[in-house]
Structure 1
Amino acid sequence: MVKKMKEQRKGLLAVSLGTSCKDAEKKSINSIEHCFQEAFPERKIYRAFSSERIRSIIKERQGFDYPNIGMAME
């Protein structure tokens, strides 16, 4: 029996604790991801936040659920 392999996504996963402050996100996380994109233009940049507390705050305030590391790797 042949198993179907998952489609592999080629990209970079940018993992951080996260932040609920938009200004801090812009100055740090977005800036680093921009550098990744310039260094590896052929790759898609994926983001994951490791702090469940930060993810919860963002979801509550903004309605957006950033993935954690496990979710992003699926």
Structure 2
Amino acid sequence: METRETRPATDVPPVAKAYNGVDRNAFIFGLNPQAELWNGRLAMIGFLAYLTWDLAGFSVLRDVLHLIGY
């Protein structure tokens, strides 16, 4: 009987550490697949920062609407 240590690892997908030989988490300047990952990460950080700022009572949208007369 095969144990977990002795059975072949064909049912476990390999962890993708590289994309075409390049680390997918590395910061590389220019148009490349890593740019979309970094763009998404920074967008999530920006959205969370704005949400926190808005919940603290400093609403940019409310201030802009107040300035234009709404």
TM-score by length of 1: 0.24
Higher share in strand: 1
Structure showing greater Rg: 2
Higher relative contact order (CA 8 A, sep 6+): 1
TM-score by length of 2: 0.25
